[in-house]
Structure 1
Amino acid sequence: MTTALITGATAGIGAAFARRLATDGHNLVLVARNTERLQEQATELHDRHGIEAEVLTADLGTDDGIALVEKRLADSRNAIDLLVNNAGFGNKGQFLDVPMADELTMLKVHCEAVLRLTSAAVPGMRERGRGGVVNVASVAAFLPRGTYGASKAWVMQFTQGAARDLTGSGVRLMALCPGFVRTEFHERAGMGTDNIPGWMWLDADKLVTAALADLSRGKTLSIPDPRYKALMGAAKLAPRGLLGGITSKTGRKYGPQ
């Protein structure tokens, strides 16, 4: 039986990955900051699906938290077959409104943790000749959206570059770029969502189903919805100045998951 490690596992896209992978019979390592929620989630998934669900409490905004997950990923006796780097958050406010400490924490969680955890997981996968990594970015990676969009653009570029370098190894890397997803993401950041049209919202479970299908097909970039595929195609053709004006109206604080 294979094992998947999911960061940011207790809510939103991470929880949807956990549900789907448990349903498919995968054992899990669930990573988040809230031990109580992790334990409740692990018990529920074990009881419902008969899989083993390990709990690992770690704050990926700290070196100690990242190191703890790195150690688990490098444990060859309990190998991880699939890594889902999902942990992330948004900051409310425009450039210079957000404290520098919060900006740096975002870069640590979105960029440094993704780099270090991917680097910890892949050597063992390559040695075994199989494995996968899903790094959750965002459609914000295609738009001028301050630190959030820039950090997600880094995730996308890093993942696709590493995937190319690992061609033929049996290890698949994919950047997942969802749009607005109905999760706790915006509420946790104190962000309003009233100005987001209903048609732009995605269902987390359907998103995960599409993402896993893209991973199995060997895609290195997944935009798991036709609506957002069309929007991002249009964004590539639109002038950068126009995109900046549009995104500033919705506000940096409304960046998708």
Structure 2
Amino acid sequence: MKKFQLSDIELYYTLPEFITKDKITLADDEFKHCCKVMRNVIGDVIYITDGEGNIYKSEIEKIKKNSLSGKILETISYKNGLKNIFFCIPKLKSPDRLKYALEKCVELGITNFILFESKRTIGRIKNIERFNRILISAMKQSLHAFLPVVCTASLKSIITNSGIKILFDQGSENQFSFNNNSAEKYYFLFGPEGGFEDGEIGTIDSSNKFFLSNHRLRSETAVIKCASLLTRGF
């Protein structure tokens, strides 16, 4: 795999089914942004990701009313070293603070998110599609090639999932450290603004409870700090 450093480009996203061996199609909002906003024309070179780890350097060949097609000149492929990491984030009272945390995590390379409700969760999520759009935009802005995935779940369902649960608790005596075993799934649990009730997290082993700072952090700050620590090598 060749290693590339991309900068100063505009990255677009298309569905994998719009890509063949040497041709690629851009449609709908992505097409409009490419041709109507960025004013790209036939012969221009653009970069498109399929959200599955590939970025395609492509030359525009045809422009139609609602789509364009291009010739793939080069494929740049990446590996997702954090695909087994799931960030379990509480639904926050302020949608803007949650949006900010998600954007920064995507910029740092986190790709799996679960928004959960617990007994003391304050916020509510009414439109998950809005967050999907936010994540796609953050992926393109930061020139990442993996489409972030976000879903909702109850805290109970996360706890009962197979995989290792890691809880961030200000009262823990364990300073956070982590060695990623790619064969395992890891669920990183961040506390809601109202905190967890003891009965909700009692099954998590104390050795998997960590503190991130000597000071109390807001939920979104803890999420971003953890993402920064995890992605230092990526």
TM-score of the superposition, structure 2-length normalised?
0.36
* Between structures 1 and 2, the one with greater strand share: 2
TM-score of the superposition, structure 1-length normalised?
0.33
